[in-house]
Chain A
Amino acid sequence: MINKKVCIMGAFSVGKTSLVERYVHSIFSDSYLSTVGVKISKKDIMVNNIEIAMVLWDMEGKDDFSDINMTYLRGAMGFFAVADFTRKETLDAALQIRKRATELIGKSVPNILLLNKEDAAIREITDAHLAELTDSGIQFFLTSAKTGKNVESAFISLADQMML
């Protein structure tokens, strides 16, 4: 059995919890998020016939990103930085978080940027932004917690990278 610690971070109300709630298995209530600042859930994934249990640390979304609780990041083997397609500032926040996280736990730690609410009509994040991301070598997925689009693929992709 392979267990992996994976953190999910992002600005306030980018839909992290929705992603977690709909596609993973959880036993704890959301109140942990506002009290302890983190909620643990689990996602079982098969990669190359190996069963992987991704223990997801869903971290409280904060608008002040410098204050994000880095203690919880300790020992993470991969992470998702989540942004909201409809708000540009959340992408900036996600990138900032990504930067801080890689500083703390190392550049080699696999990570994926999730641009959530892909299904929304109004988008603040443009194709130019996406091109910029591609140029910087940042791996991202356009996801929708609502339709489930790309959620599974994102998990599988991160698991894949963690198993390399």
Chain B
Amino acid sequence: MISPDTAEDMKKLKKLLLQDEIDRLNKIEAQINDPLSETERVSGVIAEAVIMSSNKNNKFSKAIEPVLENSLIQNIHKQPQEYINLLFPIIGSTIRKSISETLNSMLGSFSRGLEKSFSLKGLKWRIEAIRSGKSFSEVVMLHTLVYSVDQVFLIHSGTGLLLMHVERKDTVSKDADMVSGMLTAIQDFAKDCFNKDGGDNSLNSLKMDTYTLFIEQGPSVYIACVTNGIPPPEFPSKLRECIELIMAEFREPIARFDGDTAPFAGAGKYLLDLLDVKFAEDGKNISRKVKATPVIVLSLLFMLLLCKSYSSYKMNKGVNLIKAERGIFLVDVKKPWGFKPWHILLYRDDFALSAQEILKNNGYREDLLTVQSIPFISYDPEIVRRRIMSKLDIPKDAAAFFDNGTLTLKGSAAIRWITDARQIALATPGILRVDISEIYDPRFNELEMRISEIEKIYIQFPHDKSYPVGQDAQKLEDVVNLLVKLEKLAKEMNLNVSLTVYGHTDLTGSIKYNYELSQERAKTIAYMLFARGAHIAVSIFGMGSDYAENSHDDPEKRRIELKVTLLPNAEKGY
């Protein structure tokens, strides 16, 4: 058991040994119970705690999110005007910028659309729009978003000194250092002149012709891009991205920049990336093409016009050649639009050249013109000549001439040919007369000679006798010989020989008797000739004393006459 003294002593001892700890404990207890000192303590660590928590996970953000949200909403409800005033400068400039960019690109595509509407390419795009079902403006957008970024400058804003410069291979550029300085000066100038309210707005593009200089401002550097054509809408954001990347990587060297550009060599890759988007169509600059289009179209039109005029000239020449041709009568020439051949309607004689032959003979293509031809008979002397010449198979020693409606045959030819030619000629349209006075058959002379020899033979008869005697009977032998020769010759000429024997008497005796006697005499001679080998057609005629006149008992009247007739052989040719 512990006595009260002991308890007291213990207490003293405890106090003696642990007084410091007791004091500290009391103090801590007091601190915990005092909200003010607790707040002070937490405030010292709360920031670090939040950072630590955020780094570990996003529990804290999640926890605090609804609280912040609620308080923000309540605040806006309570004092909307405050917020409007606060946000106005930011939102205003953001919206302005966005609207102006959109408008710019829209206007750009409108003007491109208009430019294209009247060009060949425009036509092609319209067809593409119809085919693909897209709107025309969409197709225009698709095709005209072509541009090139020719040069990119990375410039230190403070000094205007060039940090890095890249350019396209075939770009002709001026001294980049000086350009950077001047660009910076111009920006300063613009800022001084137009930005009196001291805001942070700065020059962001310069335009000349098809070139646009884009300027993207960073905190201490800016990028200037020389572009040709209309860059796509995302180009400015690409620039911003580029400057952010550069700032992230080169923050230190930029801050320490004293003129040494060596540390920025690495920035080239980012700038080259911008150059990378330069080609959207075969590496060619559409904007130049757009400018060149009217020139090309005009040249094409001019060439087309030239071709058209030349082809019209050729066709006209062809038509005139055809028109001038004998035996052709041109009725109509149709000239269709474009490059189609002209169509001609004509009347043509069979003996005229065809339109195709005329073109070919004059060195033109046969299909230069399309031709519809209607047959007709031409009385053109040349055509009549061709017509008759085609019908006459003219022998080698003969010739035919046509002039003024008369066909003249000259030279020598078989008689049958001559007579046939005459008949054919007279039946040929355009021939009015045939002159055969200058053509002869050379065999005809011999034939005539033989015939005259035969016809000269004079056979007399004794008084009242129907047969010849003595010398006269012997003459029959001569007649037969001559007839045989004649027949042979006639055969060669394809002629048939026929003989007519006429019997005569003197005036002695009655007329009737004399007729009978004369007939008898002719018949006798015919028999005698046949008997002696003259196998030709013979006709006999008794003429009585019709030719005796007043001569009685005249031996000269007691005679026969011989007449040779030649007839064409109808079955055989000449």
- Interface residues of chain A, those whose CB is within 8 Å of chain B, are 1-5, 25-28, 32, 36-42, 52-53, 55, 57, 69, 71-72, 74-77, 162
B261 & A40 in contact (Cβ 8 Å cutoff): no
B191 within 8 A of A: yes
A75 & B159 in contact (Cβ 8 Å cutoff): yes
A122 to B518, CA, bound (A): 170
Q: Contacting chain A: which of B173-181, B423-431, B527-535?
A: B173-181
Q: Which 10 A-B pairs have the closest CB atoms?
A: A75-B159, A40-B181, A75-B158, A5-B159, A3-B161, A40-B182, A71-B188, A38-B185, A4-B259, A55-B181
Residue of B nearest to A4 (CB): B259
Contact residue among A2, A32, A39, A71 (Cβ-Cβ distance under 8 Å from B191):
A71
Given the known A-B contacts A5-B160, A75-B156, are A28 and B261 also in contact in the complex, defined by CB atoms under 8 Å? no
B199 to chain A, nearest CB (A): 15
A32 & B182 in contact (Cβ 8 Å cutoff): yes
Q: Provide the residues of chain B in CB contact with A3, threshold 8 Å.
A: 159, 161-162, 177, 259-261
A72 to B191, CA, bound (A): 11
B151 to chain A, nearest CB (A): 14
A101 to B179, CA, bound (A): 24
Chain B 161-192 per-residue mask, 1 if CB under 8 angstroms from chain A, else 0? 11000000000001101111110011011011
Q: Provide the residues of chain B in CB contact with A25, threshold 8 Å.
A: 175, 178
B158 & A41 in contact (Cβ 8 Å cutoff): no
Interface residues of B in 264-307 (CB under 8 A from A): none
Contact residue among B156, B159, B260 (Cβ-Cβ distance under 8 Å from A2):
B260
B188 & A26 in contact (Cβ 8 Å cutoff): no
A56 to chain B, nearest CB (A): 8
Contact residue among A27, A40, A77 (Cβ-Cβ distance under 8 Å from B185):
A40
B185 & A55 in contact (Cβ 8 Å cutoff): no
A1 & B182 in contact (Cβ 8 Å cutoff): no
A140 to chain B, nearest CB (A): 24
Given the known A-B contacts A3-B162, A3-B259, A55-B181, are A27 and B188 also in contact in the complex, defined by CB atoms under 8 Å? no
Given the known A-B contacts A2-B261, A3-B261, A42-B175, are A36 and B189 also in contact in the complex, defined by CB atoms under 8 Å? yes
B258 within 8 A of A: yes
A57 & B181 in contact (Cβ 8 Å cutoff): yes
B262 within 8 A of A: yes
Q: Provide the residues of chain B in CB contact with A74, threshold 8 Å.
A: 158-159, 188
A36 to B157, CA, bound (A): 18
- Interface residues of chain B, those whose CB is within 8 Å of chain A, are 156-162, 174-175, 177-182, 185-186, 188-189, 191-192, 258-262
B182 & A28 in contact (Cβ 8 Å cutoff): yes
Q: Provide the residues of chain B in CB contact with A69, threshold 8 Å.
A: 188, 192
B188 & A5 in contact (Cβ 8 Å cutoff): no
B192 & A42 in contact (Cβ 8 Å cutoff): no
A36 & B174 in contact (Cβ 8 Å cutoff): no
B131 to chain A, nearest CB (A): 50
A36 & B186 in contact (Cβ 8 Å cutoff): yes
A55 & B177 in contact (Cβ 8 Å cutoff): yes
A42 to B178, CA, bound (A): 6
Q: Provide the residues of chain A in CB contact with B174, threshold 8 Å.
A: 27
Residue of A nearest to B190 (CB): A36
Q: Provide the residues of chain B in CB contact with A162, threshold 8 Å.
A: 259
Contact residue among B157, B159, B178, B188 (Cβ-Cβ distance under 8 Å from A77):
B159
7 more CB-based (< 8 A) A-B contacts, given A5-B181, A32-B182, A52-B259: A2-B260, A27-B178, A36-B189, A74-B158, A75-B158, A75-B159, A75-B160
25 contacts between A and B (CB under 8 A): A2-B260, A3-B159, A3-B161, A5-B161, A5-B259, A27-B174, A27-B179, A28-B178, A32-B182, A36-B182, A38-B185, A40-B185, A52-B259, A55-B160, A55-B161, A55-B177, A55-B181, A57-B160, A69-B192, A71-B191, A74-B188, A75-B160, A77-B159, A77-B258, A77-B259
Residue of A nearest to B264 (CB): A1
A149 to B156, CA, bound (A): 34
Q: Provide the residues of chain A in CB contact with B159, threshold 8 Å.
A: 3, 5, 74-77
A2 & B192 in contact (Cβ 8 Å cutoff): no
A76 to B161, CA, bound (A): 10
A72 to B260, CA, bound (A): 20
Residue of B nearest to A5 (CB): B159
Q: Provide the residues of chain A in CB contact with B261, threshold 8 Å.
A: 1-3
A69 to B191, CA, bound (A): 12
B219 to chain A, nearest CB (A): 14
A89 to chain B, nearest CB (A): 27
B185 & A53 in contact (Cβ 8 Å cutoff): no
Residue of A nearest to B189 (CB): A36
A39 to B184, CA, bound (A): 11
A39 to B262, CA, bound (A): 26
A113 to chain B, nearest CB (A): 22
A40 to B160, CA, bound (A): 10
A71 to B189, CA, bound (A): 8
Residue of A nearest to B261 (CB): A1
A7 to chain B, nearest CB (A): 11
Q: Provide the residues of chain A in CB contact with B260, threshold 8 Å.
A: 1-3
Q: Provide the residues of chain B in CB contact with A26, threshold 8 Å.
A: 178
Most chain B CB atoms below 10 A, which of A2, A25, A76: A2
Residue of A nearest to B162 (CB): A3
Q: Provide the residues of chain A in CB contact with B182, threshold 8 Å.
A: 28, 32, 36, 39-40
B253 to chain A, nearest CB (A): 13
A143 to chain B, nearest CB (A): 23
A138 to chain B, nearest CB (A): 24
Q: Provide the residues of chain B in CB contact with A42, threshold 8 Å.
A: 175, 177-178
Residue of B nearest to A3 (CB): B161
Q: Provide the residues of chain A in CB contact with B175, threshold 8 Å.
A: 25, 27, 42
A55 & B188 in contact (Cβ 8 Å cutoff): no
A36 & B161 in contact (Cβ 8 Å cutoff): no
A74 to B158, CA, bound (A): 6
Most chain A CB atoms below 10 A, which of B161, B162, B180: B161
A123 to chain B, nearest CB (A): 34
Q: Provide the residues of chain A in CB contact with B258, threshold 8 Å.
A: 77
A72 & B185 in contact (Cβ 8 Å cutoff): yes
Q: Provide the residues of chain B in CB contact with A38, threshold 8 Å.
A: 185, 189
A37 & B158 in contact (Cβ 8 Å cutoff): no
A69 to B162, CA, bound (A): 22
A77 to B257, CA, bound (A): 11
Given the known A-B contacts A42-B175, A42-B177, A75-B160, are A37 and B189 also in contact in the complex, defined by CB atoms under 8 Å? yes
B116 to chain A, nearest CB (A): 37
Contact residue among A36, A40, A72 (Cβ-Cβ distance under 8 Å from B178):
A40
Q: Provide the residues of chain A in CB contact with B177, threshold 8 Å.
A: 3, 42, 53, 55
